[in-house]
Amino acid sequence: MRAGTTVLIPSCNRPATLAVTLSGLCFQECRDFGVVISHQSDTPVYRDSSVQTAIRLLEKKGHQVRQLANLPRRGLAQQRQFLLDSAESPYCLYLDDDVLLEPFVVGNMLQAHEEEDIGFVGQALIGLSYRHDYRLHEQTIELWEGPVEPELVTPRDRAWQRHTLHNAANILHIQEKLELTPNTQKKYKVAWVGGCVLYDTQKLRETGGFEFWQDIPKEHAGEDVLAQLRVMKRYGGCGLIPSGAYHQEAQTTVTNRKFDLPKELAL
C-alpha cells in the first residue's frame, strides 16, 4: 500500500546527524509515511552503524526506507529534484539531515493540509543553544485569522523581513508566551521555512519543483526558498506553531552562498 507521505532527506557527509534525524522519525505518532534518503557523501552514509540501526527500526515499524545515491554532485537544487522525482505520495516532507522532530510533527503538518487547500506547511527550526537568548525585536508574528491565501513575497517586499522570526529560538519563545500546545496549533504568515516543509506533491510539481537546477550554477543557495516562493504565489503556504523541529546546529555543508537564488532569479 502506498504511503500518504514520503519523507525526503538530502544528506551529505553527516552520518551522525542523519542517525538522529531518522531516530526522530521512528517515534512519530503518524504512521503513514515512507522515507527516501539521497546521499552525496564522500563515503556512503549507509555504512554507518547508527544510521543502519535507525533505518532498521523504521522498517520494523512498517515504514519503507529507500537508500539512494545521487552522484556526482550537481548542486542542491538537483539533489532536491532527484528526491522529488522519487515521490509517489500525495504529500512529501523535505527534512534536512540535521533536524530532530518531536512525535507530533508529521501528524500536525498533515492535519494543517487537511484544513487548508494550500501548497505547503512548515515548522521552523529551533536552535536550543539559544534557549535563553530572547530577541524581542525579531518576535513579531502574523497569525492567519482566516483561510491561508496565496501571497507574492520577494526580497523587495516588506514581508521578506518575516524570515527573522525563524532565527535562533524565537519560535520557541513565542509558543511558550502564547501557551500553545500541539492540540492548539496555529498557522502564521512566512517569508519561507527552512529544513522541515511538507508540500502537496502535485502543487510543488505544478510550480516547477526544482527543475531550475539545470539553468543555474552548481554552487548556489536558497533553492528551497525559491521553490517555496513559487508555490506560495500560486497556492499559499504557512508556518505552524508550536514547532517541534529542532536544529542540531551542526556545521553547514553549504559554504558558498554567493549565488542566492531568490535574489538572482525573478519570480
pLDDT tens series, the chain, 267 aa: 467 999 999 999 999 999 999 999 999 999 999 999 999 988 889 999 999 999 999 999 999 999 999 999 999 999 999 999 999 999 999 999 999 999 999 999 999 999 999 999 999 999 999 999 999 999 999 999 999 999 999 999 999 999 999 999 999 999 999 999 999 999 999 999 999 999 999 999 999 999 999 999 998 889 999 999 999 999 999 999 999 999 999 877 766 667 788 887 754
Looking at residue 267, its pLDDT comes to 47
- Residue 221 is classified by DSSP as B
Instruction: With CA atoms as reference, report the closest residue to 197 among 118, 128, 79, 143.
Output: 118
Cα–Cα distance measured from residue 66 to residue 141, given in angstroms and rounded to the nearest whole number: 38
3-class secondary structure, 115 = helix
Instruction: With CA atoms as reference, report the closest residue to 120 among 34, 62, 187.
Output: 187
Looking at residue 1, its pLDDT comes to 41
Looking at residue 256, its pLDDT comes to 60
DSSP secondary structure string for all residues of 11-58: ESS-HHHHHHHHHHHHT-S---EEEEEEE--SS-GGG-HHHHHHHHHH
**Grid cell of 159 as nine digits:** 514581508
Q: Structural domains in the chain?
A: 5-250 (3.90.550.10)
Looking at residue 264, its pLDDT comes to 78
Query: pTM of this prediction?
Result: 0.95
Looking at residue 28, its pLDDT comes to 98
> For residues 187 and 121, is the Cβ–Cβ distance under 8 A?
yes
Residue written as cell 553547514? 252
> Which region, left, alpha or beta, applies to residue 62 given φ > 0 means left and ψ of -120 to 50 means alpha?
left
CB neighbours of 34 closer than 8 A, spacing ≥ 6? 3, 5, 6, 7, 63, 64, 65, 66, 89
Looking at residue 182, its pLDDT comes to 98
